[in-house]
């Protein structure tokens, strides 16, 4: 399985532990990734506040680069990149006249998007293309006894019409399926499909922190030992801002937050160092001890 | 088709806490959740309270949470959301107090809609005959005008869950409908008002309202349009506007996001130091501080040209 790979800015910026963990897991499970090194930020929903047409042009440029490499699928490791790229792709594929208009902006660079690219997230690719059975066969360190709270991130859930939910209606249950294949137990709680609050952190921090505290405290109350997310922006908020959210809430939280590739990596034999488990704000030590994975 | 409706029952005047009661229903192939509820009320339990009227997704009365998501009960086919024999959970809308069972108190909803002044305010003398506007100008507004005030977006808004002062998706989509109407004369005053705290910049862009709106209004996208209009009109001092501008500037320069630069530009140097030092220090000690020196991609000049071409 060969993919054009867009890691997103945050997996090498604010969450530098994600990129190597994702690459390690991808290699081991057999996802062949060709990184798009000249692709740009997707706009993350923010550039669209200035100009939607610009966002469409930026992402069409990335899609055209994948087409030039002869690849029909772009894989992301970020719910936010996933959502923005899927929305843009929906607009460009639905409306060939508009696509041609956008292609007009790319002509100077010798690029043109034909509309043949499909966007997927590593989480989707693992379930739909690799298959959970194959993933199960790779598990060498089952995460027995670990209770994991799934946290999806908005842009990999909504709006469903741009995210292929008609074809794959169970995409909002994949985290739970993966958690269980790894030998861990999925914790059900109401926060799993809600917002982490990251987009308003610079605007209304106390609201964003309240979201962090609500979701992490609810997950803990339902018995979670760790929380797992396929979105590095959610990770930034739920992990990096968790101490501040705890301060605002007036009670300790201390819920380790893992990236999805870290959770998978722990079960398929990678050590804590390769997975960057010590590069977290909330200590992942309880997880390392519970699972007994090598420290490296 | 047979199904079970698991309905949240609650009468705040007589019950300390809500309970859930299950009712079996047998509906024709195209039966809706509302058909099921009316069947329950007529044949099984006359004490069940709910709001409904038109049964055709026009009046906006029967919004409720169905399997955890706000929907119009009359527009929700049972066979689309459940397999035969399955249970469907029906609850009142969220973010509002419950009057009884499935009837929510929408006072807050209407207060917010009123707060955005949802009526045309032309200035200057009225024309002798009707106002003339272009088709194009009105076409833009039709999406927002489709709102039937059902409250679904407000029910599931993730910001209202933590902050009841937020104007919310329905009111702000209505705000867009008037601020972009060529007949309205108070565009600047409106934009100034909507950019204040609890307004457009407090939306967390979670797409929940886009997902649950039964009429395709996509309130969040309307809020983004008002943000755009506000920035274009020069309301650039809010943190939200500074964040959006800084973000675009950084990607324009290098093709990628530079989180350090974004923080400095959004907050300003001193404020960033004050606000983010704790976070930054913790990140530093965990070896995860974003790179101090941000490198542009090799084709950054092409990206800059693209930004300039599109006027950003």
Q: What pLDDT is stored for residue B92 in this prediction?
A: 98
B239 to chain A, any CB pair closer than 8 A? The answer is yes
Domain final residue, candidates A66, A92, A121: A121
Q: Do B202 and A43 touch (CB under 8 A)?
A: no
User: Any chain B CB within 8 A of the CB of A139?
Assistant: no
Q: Looking at the structure, tell me whether residues A221 and A91 fall in a common domain.
A: no
Q: Does the pTM of the predicted model rise above 0.90? A: yes
Question: Over the stretch B216-241, which tens digit does the pLDDT of each residue have?
Answer: 999 999 999 999 999 999 999 999 99
Tell me the pLDDT tens digit for each residue of A80-98: 999 999 999 999 999 999 9
Q: Are residues A91 and A163 in the same domain?
A: no
Instruction: Output the pLDDT for position B276.
Output: 79
User: Which residues are registered as beta bridge partners of A134?
Assistant: none
Task: Report the pLDDT value the prediction gives residue B244, as an integer from 0 to 100.
Answer: 92
Residues 153-172 on B with a CB inside 8 Å of A are 158-159, 161-163, 166
CA-nearest of B214, B221, B234, B223 to B179 is B223
pLDDT tens track for A143-179: 999 999 999 999 999 999 999 999 999 999 999 999 9
User: What is residue A83's predicted lDDT score, i.e. its pLDDT?
Assistant: 96
CATH number at residue A46: 1.20.1050.140
* Contact at CB, A202 and B243, closer than 8 angstroms: yes
Q: Give me the residue spans of the domains in chain B.
A: 2-104, 107-232, 239-309
> Has residue A128 been placed in a domain?
no
Asked whether the predicted pLDDT for residue A295 surpasses 90, the reply is: yes
Distance set, CA B223 to CA A92, B216, B241 (Å)? 22, 14, 13
CB-CB neighbors (< 8 A) of A83 in chain B = 207
Q: Please check whether residues A172 and A62 belong to one and the same domain.
A: no
Chain A residues near residue B263 by CB distance under 8 angstroms: 202
Whether residue A6 has pLDDT greater than 80: yes
pLDDT tens digit sequence for B104-161: 999 999 999 999 999 999 998 988 998 899 999 999 999 999 999 999 999 999 999 9
Among chain B residues, the shortest Cα distance to A36 is held by B297
Please report the pLDDT score of residue A129 as a whole number.
97
One domain, residues A38 and A73: yes
Distance CA A139, CA A179 (A): 12
Same domain, A150 and A227: yes
Confidence of residue B173 (pLDDT cuts 50, 70, 90): very high
Tell me, yes or no, whether A126 lies in a domain: no
B244 touches chain A (CB under 8 A): yes
- The CA distances from residue A60 to A68, B86, B216, in Å, are 12, 43, 25
Tell me, yes or no, whether A171 lies in a domain.
yes
Domain that holds residue A31: 2-121
Provide the ipTM: 0.95
Is there a domain that residue A69 lies in?
yes
Give tens-digit pLDDT for B198-222: 999 999 999 999 999 999 999 999 9
Within a domain: residue A97? yes
Q: Is residue A296 part of a domain?
A: no
Q: What is the mean pLDDT of residues A111-125?
A: 98
Contact A253, A224 (CB under 8 A): no
User: What was the pLDDT predicted at B258?
Assistant: 87
Per-residue confidence band for B292, with pLDDT thresholds at 50, 70 and 90: confident
- Tell the CATH topology of B107-232: Fumarate Reductase Iron-sulfur Protein; Chain B, domain 2 (1.10.1060)
Same-domain status, A146 and A14: no
Point out the least confidently predicted range of B36-40, B80-84, B165-169, B217-221.
B80-84
CATH 3.30.70.260 describes domain B2-104: no
> pLDDT digits over B246-289, tens only?
999 999 999 999 888 888 888 887 777 777 788 888 888 888 88
What is the Cβ-side half-sphere exposure of residue A196, based on CA atoms within 13 angstroms? 28
pLDDT of res. A26: 98
Q: Does A199 sit within 8 Å of B205, measured CB to CB?
A: yes
Residues A115 and A259 in one domain: no
Task: For chain A, positions 153-172, list CB contacts with chain B under 8 A.
Answer: 154-155, 157-160
> Rounded mean pLDDT of B180-194?
96
Query: Which one of A94, A121, A148 terminates a domain?
Result: A121
**Rounded (10°) CA dihedral B69, B70, B74, B76:** -30
CATH code for the domain of A146: 3.40.50.11810
Q: Are residues A162 and A102 part of one domain?
A: no
What does the pLDDT read at residue A165? 96
Q: Are residues A186 and A101 in the same domain?
A: no
User: Looking at the structure, do residues A203 and A251 belong to the same domain, yes or no?
Assistant: yes
CB contact under 8 A, B197 and A204: yes
Give chain A's domain count.
2
Question: Comparing C-alpha atoms, which of A163, A200, A185, A211 is closest to residue A263?
Answer: A185
Query: How many Å apart are CA A63 and CA B127, to the nearest integer?
Result: 50
Assess whether A200 and A272 both reside in one domain: yes
The per-residue pLDDT for range A177-236, each reduced to its tens digit, is: 999 999 999 999 999 999 999 999 999 999 999 999 999 999 999 999 999 999 999 999
DSSP string over A132-201:
HHHHHHH-SS--TT-EEEE---GGGTSSGGGTTTTT-TTGGGHHHHHHHHTT-EEPP-GGGGS---GGGT
Query: Is A109 touching B (CB cutoff 8 A)?
Result: yes
Task: Write the DSSP string, chain B.
Answer: -EEEEEEEE--TTT-SS-EEEEEEEE--TT-BHHHHHHHIIIII-TT-------SSSSS---EEEETTEEEEGGG-BHHHH--TT-EEEEE--SSS-EEETTEE--HHHHHHHHHT--S----SSPPSS-----HHHHHHHHHHHT-----HHHHH-TTTTT-TTS-HHHHHHHHHHHHT-TT-S-HHHHHHHHTSTTSGGG-----HHHHH-TTS--HHHHHHHHHHHHHHTT---SHHHHHHHHHHHHHHHHSS--HHHHHHHHH-HHHHHHHHHHHHHHHHHTT-PPPSSPPPPTTHHHHHHHHHHTT-
**In whole angstroms, what is the distance from residue B3 CA to residue B5 CA?**
7
Closest residue by Cα to residue B185 from B126, B134, B145, B111? B126
The predicted pLDDT at position A180 comes to 98
- Per-residue pLDDT of B4-33, as tens digits, reads 999 999 999 999 999 999 999 999 999 999
Spatial distance between the Cα atoms of A218 and A188, rounded to a whole number of angstroms: 10
Q: Using one digit for the tens of pLDDT, what is the confidence trace for A29-81?
A: 999 999 999 999 999 999 998 899 999 999 999 999 999 999 999 999 999 99
- Would you state the pLDDT for residue B284? 84
Is residue A228 a part of any domain in this protein?
yes
Residue A165, in any domain of the structure: yes
* Cβ <8 Å between B205 and A15: no
What is the model's pLDDT at position B273?
74
Asked which of A57, A86, A121 is the last residue of a domain, the reply is: A121
Mean pLDDT of chain A: 97
Residues A56 and A159 placed together within one structural domain of the fold = no
Contact at CB, B207 and A83, closer than 8 angstroms: yes
A207/B contact by beta carbon, under 8 A = yes
């Amino acid at each position: 399985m060969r993919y054009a790979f867009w890691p997103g800015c945050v997996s090498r910026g604010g969450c530098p532990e994600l990129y190597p963990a994702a690459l390690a897991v991808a290699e081991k499970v057999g996802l062949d990734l060709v990184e798009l090194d000249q692709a740009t930020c997707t706009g993350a929903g923010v550039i669209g506040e200035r100009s939607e047409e610009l966002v469409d042009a930026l992402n069409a440029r990335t899609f055209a680069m994948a087409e030039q490499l002869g690849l029909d699928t772009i894989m992301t490791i970020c719910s936010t990149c996933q959502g923005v790229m899927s929305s843009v792709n929906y607009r460009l594929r639905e409306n060939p006249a508009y696509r041609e208009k956008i292609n007009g902006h790319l002509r100077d660079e010798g690029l043109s998007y034909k509309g043949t690219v499909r966007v997927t997230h590593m989480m989707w690719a693992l379930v739909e293309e690799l298959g959970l059975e194959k993933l199960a066969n790779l598990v060498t360190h089952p995460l027995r006894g670990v209770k994991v709270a799934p946290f999806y991130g908005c842009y990999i859930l909504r709006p469903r019409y741009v995210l292929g939910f008609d074809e794959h209606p169970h995409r909002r249950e994949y985290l739970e399926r993966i958690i269980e294949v790894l030998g861990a137990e999925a914790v059900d709680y109401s926060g799993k499909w809600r917002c982490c609050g990251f987009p308003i952190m610079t605007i209304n921090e106390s609201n964003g922190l309240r979201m962090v505290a609500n979701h992490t405290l609810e997950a803990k109350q339902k018995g979670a030992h760790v929380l797992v997310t396929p979105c590095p922006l959610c990770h930034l908020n739920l992990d990096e801002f968790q101490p501040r959210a705890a301060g605002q809430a007036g009670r300790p939280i201390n819920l380790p937050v893992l990236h999805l590739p870290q959770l998978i990596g722990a079960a398929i034999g990678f050590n804590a160092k390769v997975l960057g488990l010590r590069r977290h704000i909330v200590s992942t030590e309880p997880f390392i001890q519970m699972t007994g994975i090598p420290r490296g | 088709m047979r199904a079970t409706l698991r309905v949240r029952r609650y009468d705040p005047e007589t019950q300390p806490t809500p309970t859930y009661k299950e009712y079996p229903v047998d509906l024709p192939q195209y039966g809706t959740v509302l058909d099921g509820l009316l069947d329950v009320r007529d044949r099984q339990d006359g004490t069940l309270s709910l709001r409904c009227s038109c049964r055709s997704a026009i009046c906006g009365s029967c919004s409720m949470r169905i399997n955890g998501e706000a929907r119009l009960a009359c527009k929700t086919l049972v066979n689309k959301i459940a397999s035969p024999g399955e249970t469907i959970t029906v609850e009142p809308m969220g973010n509002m107090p419950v009057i009884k069972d499935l009837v929510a108190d929408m006072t807050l909803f209407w207060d917010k809609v009123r707060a955005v002044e949802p009526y045309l305010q032309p200035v200057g003398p009225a024309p002798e005959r009707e106002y003339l506007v272009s088709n194009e100008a009105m076409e833009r507004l039709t999406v927002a005008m489709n709102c039937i005030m059902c409250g679904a977006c407000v029910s599931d808004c993730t910001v209202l869950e933590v902050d009841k002062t937020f104007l919310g998706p329905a009111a702000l989509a209505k705000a867009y409908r008037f601020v972009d109407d060529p007949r309205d004369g108070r565009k600047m005053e409106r934009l100034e008002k909507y950019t204040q705290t609890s307004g457009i910049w407090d939306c967390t862009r979670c797409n929940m309202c886009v997902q649950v709106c039964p009429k395709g209004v996509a309130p969040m996208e309307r809020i983004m349009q008002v943000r755009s209009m506000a920035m274009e009109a020069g309301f650039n001092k809010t943190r939200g506007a500074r964040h959006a501008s800084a973000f675009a500037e950084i990607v324009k320069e290098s093709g990628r996001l530079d989180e350090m630069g974004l923080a400095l530009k959004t907050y300003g140097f001193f404020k960033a130091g004050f606000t983010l030092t704790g976070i930054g220090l913790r990140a530093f000690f965990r070896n995860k501080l974003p790179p101090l020196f941000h490198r542009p991609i090799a084709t950054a000049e092409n990206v800059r040209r693209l930004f300039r071409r599109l006027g950003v």
